[in-house]
Amino acid sequence: MEEKEEVKEEIKTNPLNPIERAEAINLKLEENIKKQEELLRRNEEATAKLILGGRSYAGQETKGAETFDEKWAREAKERYAGTGMDPT
Protein backbone atom coordinates (compact mmCIF):
# COMPACT_ATOMS: atom_id res chain seq x y z
CA MET A 1 0.00 0.00 0.00
CA GLU A 2 2.78 2.42 0.91
CA GLU A 3 4.56 1.88 -2.41
CA LYS A 4 1.37 2.66 -4.32
CA GLU A 5 0.95 5.85 -2.34
CA GLU A 6 4.59 6.78 -2.98
CA VAL A 7 4.16 6.26 -6.71
CA LYS A 8 0.96 8.32 -6.72
CA GLU A 9 2.69 11.14 -4.81
CA GLU A 10 5.65 11.00 -7.16
CA ILE A 11 3.37 11.24 -10.18
CA LYS A 12 1.57 14.24 -8.68
CA THR A 13 4.78 16.06 -7.70
CA ASN A 14 6.83 15.16 -10.75
CA PRO A 15 5.35 16.65 -13.92
CA LEU A 16 6.93 14.17 -16.36
CA ASN A 17 5.27 13.26 -19.56
CA PRO A 18 3.40 9.93 -19.58
CA ILE A 19 6.23 8.06 -21.31
CA GLU A 20 8.79 9.15 -18.69
CA ARG A 21 6.38 8.20 -15.90
CA ALA A 22 5.85 4.78 -17.46
CA GLU A 23 9.60 4.25 -17.74
CA ALA A 24 10.11 5.24 -14.10
CA ILE A 25 7.37 2.87 -12.97
CA ASN A 26 8.83 0.14 -15.19
CA LEU A 27 12.24 0.54 -13.53
CA LYS A 28 10.67 0.21 -10.09
CA LEU A 29 8.77 -2.89 -11.19
CA GLU A 30 11.96 -4.45 -12.55
CA GLU A 31 13.72 -3.80 -9.23
CA ASN A 32 10.85 -5.38 -7.32
CA ILE A 33 10.85 -8.41 -9.63
CA LYS A 34 14.59 -8.90 -9.04
CA LYS A 35 14.03 -8.71 -5.28
CA GLN A 36 11.20 -11.24 -5.48
CA GLU A 37 13.33 -13.60 -7.58
CA GLU A 38 16.15 -13.40 -5.03
CA LEU A 39 13.75 -14.09 -2.16
CA LEU A 40 12.24 -17.03 -4.03
CA ARG A 41 15.71 -18.45 -4.71
CA ARG A 42 16.67 -18.14 -1.05
CA ASN A 43 13.39 -19.76 0.02
CA GLU A 44 13.92 -22.66 -2.38
CA GLU A 45 17.46 -23.19 -1.07
CA ALA A 46 16.28 -23.20 2.53
CA THR A 47 13.48 -25.65 1.72
CA ALA A 48 15.90 -27.95 -0.10
CA LYS A 49 18.26 -27.90 2.89
CA LEU A 50 15.40 -28.85 5.19
CA ILE A 51 14.26 -31.70 2.97
CA LEU A 52 17.68 -33.08 2.10
CA GLY A 53 19.01 -32.55 5.60
CA GLY A 54 16.40 -34.87 7.07
CA ARG A 55 15.00 -32.16 9.30
CA SER A 56 11.39 -31.27 9.89
CA TYR A 57 10.04 -27.74 10.15
CA ALA A 58 10.40 -27.87 13.91
CA GLY A 59 14.12 -28.44 13.55
CA GLN A 60 13.94 -31.98 14.82
CA GLU A 61 15.22 -34.98 12.93
CA THR A 62 12.51 -36.90 11.17
CA LYS A 63 11.98 -40.51 12.10
CA GLY A 64 11.55 -43.20 9.47
CA ALA A 65 8.43 -45.30 9.16
CA GLU A 66 7.80 -47.63 12.07
CA THR A 67 8.40 -51.30 11.29
CA PHE A 68 5.89 -54.01 12.16
CA ASP A 69 8.02 -55.28 15.05
CA GLU A 70 8.53 -51.77 16.46
CA LYS A 71 4.81 -51.09 16.23
CA TRP A 72 3.97 -54.40 17.93
CA ALA A 73 6.45 -53.74 20.76
CA ARG A 74 5.13 -50.21 21.31
CA GLU A 75 1.49 -51.31 21.35
CA ALA A 76 2.24 -54.26 23.64
CA LYS A 77 4.10 -52.01 26.04
CA GLU A 78 1.11 -49.64 26.13
CA ARG A 79 -1.36 -52.52 26.52
CA TYR A 80 0.50 -54.21 29.39
CA ALA A 81 1.52 -51.00 31.18
CA GLY A 82 0.78 -51.22 34.89
CA THR A 83 -0.03 -54.95 34.86
CA GLY A 84 3.37 -56.22 35.96
CA MET A 85 3.51 -58.43 32.89
CA ASP A 86 6.38 -58.05 30.44
CA PRO A 87 5.15 -58.62 26.86
CA THR A 88 8.64 -58.95 25.40
- The model's pLDDT over 27-78, given as tens digits with 9 standing for 90+, comes to 999 999 999 999 999 999 888 887 777 655 565 565 677 888 888 888 888 8
The structural domains of the chain, with segments of one domain joined by +, span: 2-53, 61-88
Between the alpha carbon of residue 25 and those of residues 20, 30, 31, 38, the distances in Å are 9, 9, 10, 20
Between the alpha carbon of residue 28 and those of residues 35, 60, 67, the distances in Å are 11, 41, 56
- pLDDT of 82: 78
DSSP E strand boundaries for 4-88 = none
